Amino acid sequence: MTKATNAKKTTAEKTFVDAQKTVEETVQKTVKAAHKTAKETVKIAQDNVEKAVKEATNNLDKVTEFGKANYEAIVASSEAAVKVAQNVNVDFIETAKKAVEKNVTDAKTLFAAKTPAEFFEIQAAMFKTRYEEFVAEATRVNEAASNTANEVVEPIKARYEEVATKYNLPLVG
């Protein structure tokens, strides 16, 4: 029986060695496959991160451009407002100076009247002239204010229309 026991022992040892080789090969294949999968997963993750960073950078550039364009529109609008304010100031000073000169001339003319009837006649003519001048000045100021508003609002309006067109927002009529 020793021979049979030895034969069984040899067969068992061979089976054990074969099983051990199979396990080692399977472990090596599994490790290689896991390594390959991990490498591929890391590569995909790196690609996704690079893509996300690139997209974020592009979006940041777009936001920066958007902000810059808005800033430029506000600056242009402010420059127009300053220019208008300067012109209004100069115009106001000139108008005030002319009004004082007219008042002095009118006072001299009134004091030169020889009769009360002549005084009231001159005064009525002055009131009529002054009323006509007031209406003309009010019309001029109204037109200037309208033009001024358009000049000041135009850069911002143009910017809004650009953004509205780009993002399908309603346009102002």
Tell me, yes or no, whether 10 lies in a domain. no
For residue 3, being part of any structural domain is answered with no
Q: What is the pLDDT of residue 173?
A: 60
Q: Please check whether residue 172 lies inside any domain of the structure.
A: no
Average pLDDT on 64-80 reads 88
Residue 117 lies in a domain: yes
Measured between its terminal Cα atoms, the distance across the chain in Å is 110
Helix axis angle, 2-111 to 116-166, nearest 10° = 170
Q: What share of the chain is helix, strand, coil (3-state, %, to 5)?
A: 95, 0, 5
pLDDT in tens, 6-56: 666 677 778 877 878 888 888 888 888 888 888 888 888 788 888 878 887
Can you give the C-alpha Rg of the chain in angstroms? 47
CA 98 – CA 136 distance, rounded (Å): 15
Domain total in the chain: 1
Residue 4 inside a domain? The answer is no
Domain that holds residue 63: 18-166
pLDDT of residue 1 exceeding 70, the answer is no
pLDDT above 70 (res 5): no
- Structure confidence by residue, pLDDT tens digits, 73-110: 889 888 988 888 888 888 889 988 998 999 999 999 99
